[in-house]
């Protein structure tokens, strides 16, 4: 049981896909301008990693070794298109805002990385939890970065005026991608100060 617990907790802090494994940086720069978009992206990636890990784990013994990457790709692509289609039908404004980034989940290293590294060698339930936890770890960082970018860049949270209501002048730099990278660096810094074992010699 403690192994399952570790599977779930490790990716959220100690083995966080963004700040420790440095995977999925590209999309975390792109979709963190607003909290709403970041939340939908976090949710979408979590669903995609969890379910595609589950499916790949179920069929792991039948997959021919030589085409395993292709099979993984097909499964991930299926999930991504499903998420995209569902968003277009039920959350059109959000899907327009995220535009190409939903389709680009497929190129997010976290998804394929977890399938290749974990799901192909483990039973379905741990694989599902691993995918879920990695998605959540990714989402957590996304939401932290988006929180500061939206608050300081637009003065709002979820589109509701917070700082702008008390006369704050928006910082335009926060909206631009470079600031996301700097904020991400700050998150990595804070995390490595808390857990010294993550520091490289």
Tell me which residues touch other proteins (CB under 8 A).
30, 61-67, 70-71, 74-75, 77-78, 81-82, 85-86, 88-90, 92-93, 96, 99-100, 176-177
**Comparison of 85 and 193: residue with beta carbon closer to other proteins:** 85
End-to-end C-alpha distance for the chain, whole angstroms: 33
State in angstroms the smallest separation of the CB of 192 from other proteins. 30
Residues contacting residue 119 through CB under 8 Å, at least 6 positions apart: 52, 53, 54, 56, 57, 60, 127, 130, 131
State in angstroms the smallest separation of the CB of 36 from other proteins. 11
**Comparison of 70 and 190: residue with beta carbon closer to other proteins:** 70
Round to whole Å and give the CA distance between 73 and 155.
Answer: 40
C-alpha distances (whole Å) from 38 to each of 46, 57, 59, 63, 64 are 12, 28, 31, 34, 36
State in angstroms the smallest separation of the CB of 94 from other proteins. 10
State in angstroms the smallest separation of the CB of 6 from other proteins. 30
Round to whole Å and give the CA distance between 167 and 181.
Answer: 27
**Comparison of 19 and 95: residue with beta carbon closer to other proteins:** 95
Residues contacting residue 151 through CB under 8 Å, at least 6 positions apart: 157, 162, 163
**Comparison of 21 and 31: residue with beta carbon closer to other proteins:** 31
Tokens 């395993």 map to which residue? 68
**Comparison of 63 and 162: residue with beta carbon closer to other proteins:** 63
Task: Return the CA Rg of the chain.
Answer: 18
Tokens 């992206």 map to which residue? 41
Residues contacting residue 132 through CB under 8 Å, at least 6 positions apart: 8, 46, 49, 50
State in angstroms the smallest separation of the CB of 72 from other proteins. 11
**Comparison of 33 and 133: residue with beta carbon closer to other proteins:** 33
State in angstroms the smallest separation of the CB of 34 from other proteins. 12
């Amino acid at each position: 049981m403690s192994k399952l617990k570790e599977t779930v907790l490790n990716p959220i802090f100690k083995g966080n896909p963004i700040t420790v494994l440095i995977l999925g940086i590209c999309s975390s720069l792109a979709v963190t301008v607003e909290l709403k978009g970041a939340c939908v992206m976090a949710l979408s990636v979590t669903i995609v990693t969890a379910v595609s890990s589950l499916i790949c784990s179920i069929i792991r013994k039948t997959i021919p070794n030589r085409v395993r990457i292709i099979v993984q790709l097909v499964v991930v692509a299926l999930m991504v298109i499903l998420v995209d289609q569902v968003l277009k039908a039920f959350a059109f404004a959000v899907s327009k805002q995220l535009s190409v980034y939903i389709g680009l989940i497929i190129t997010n290293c976290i998804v394929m990385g977890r399938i290749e590294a974990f799901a192909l060698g483990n039973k379905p339930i741990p694989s599902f939890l691993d995918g879920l936890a990695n998605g959540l770890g990714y989402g957590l960082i996304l939401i932290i970065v988006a929180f500061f970018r939206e608050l300081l860049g637009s003065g709002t949270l979820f589109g509701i005026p917070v700082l702008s209501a008390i006369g704050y002048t928006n910082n335009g730099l926060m909206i631009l991608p470079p600031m996301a990278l700097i904020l991400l660096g700050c998150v990595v810094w804070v995390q490595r100060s808390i857990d010294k074992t993550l520091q490289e010699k």
